[in-house]
Amino acid sequence: MIVVKPWVQRTLDTGVASLVEEFRALAKWTPEGMTVEAFNANKDKNRYQDVPCQDKGRIVLKFPGLSCDYIHANYLGTAHNPKRFICAQGPLENTQYSFWAMAIQEKVECIIMLCNCIEMGKFKCHQYWPLEKDQKMSFGEAPNQIHVTKIDEKKMSPEEQCINITSLKVEWADGSKTIQHLQWENWPDRGVPSTNLTAINLLSSTRGNQFPILVHCSAGIGRTGTIVAIAYVQDKMMAGEDCMAMNELLKELRSHRPWSIQNEFQYLYLHRVLLAYFLERHKSSYGELLSAENDAKYKKWVEDYGKATNSK
């Protein structure tokens, strides 16, 4: 990927402090002409009243049994697939049925959850799936009920103990399917996890999915926007597209899901993960970028990142 080398060089040359300023210049950027009529008309279905869901690209529910077509979720495509991801807020108690209806309607095979139901003593997401093996949860009313049963649970790998993979059997009047539920348990709200390649490994585990991947945290913009941004940049690079102007890429993301990537720490994490991916995991391909000068720049970049985000 010839676009990788200039991107790495630009990131090292720009440095952490300048990337922070780059984000802050766009911290409040939203798409011109954005409308939020459905959001305003369904206040009881919104977790946070200051996190709007734009009308453009929102998931319009058509599942039988629903009296309303609204859910706080938008499509966010990549270079290869205009509906690669669905970015959503974490379900409320009164939106669980809508959430599962969306998963069925959009033929979702994989759900990525980037939060815990309770964090720092605050409710961040309703417990919308069963915790015990063979336990069944039912949503909605007959004849349009949706039943979700836990089949089994495992860790993603010995190295990725922070990610639980739960197999769920989802049944409704017209059919049934198995959905994989992947929960990342230690990504702090408004913060960043420790820097390893968990994000890359998580995304790689979903690459075989042909249908939209449903991603959510609590609000569906911070952690959700960050993980989707990593895939977004990867896909653009694989397509040979220029990714030098990361601030413009942030605008592209937010044109689909406003407020994606909430703060400078998450913006830095996006860069940190991609640097680690190219310069550490794929050192054989891109290691020549680490000349003596660049090696010093990389070490300083990592050091400055740790200080800025209070992480490793």
Distance of CA 139 to the CA centre of its chain: 25
32 class by beta-carbon count within 10 Å (0-12 exposed, 13-18 middle, 19+ buried)? exposed
Instruction: Give dist(CA 48, CA 264) in Å, integer.
Output: 21
| Token pair 């089949």 in the structure block, residue | 151
Please tell me whether the peptide bond between 143 and the residue prior to it is cis, using omega within 30 degrees of 0. yes
Instruction: Give dist(CA 81, CA 286) in Å, integer.
Output: 27
**The tokens of 159 are what?**
């190295």
- Contact by Cβ (8 Å): 115, 94: no
- Contact by Cβ (8 Å): 78, 215: no
Q: Which of 110, 115, 217, 243 is catalytic?
A: 217
User: Has 217 been annotated as catalytic?
Assistant: yes
Instruction: Give dist(CA 307, CA 27) in Å, integer.
Output: 21
Active site residue ranges: 217
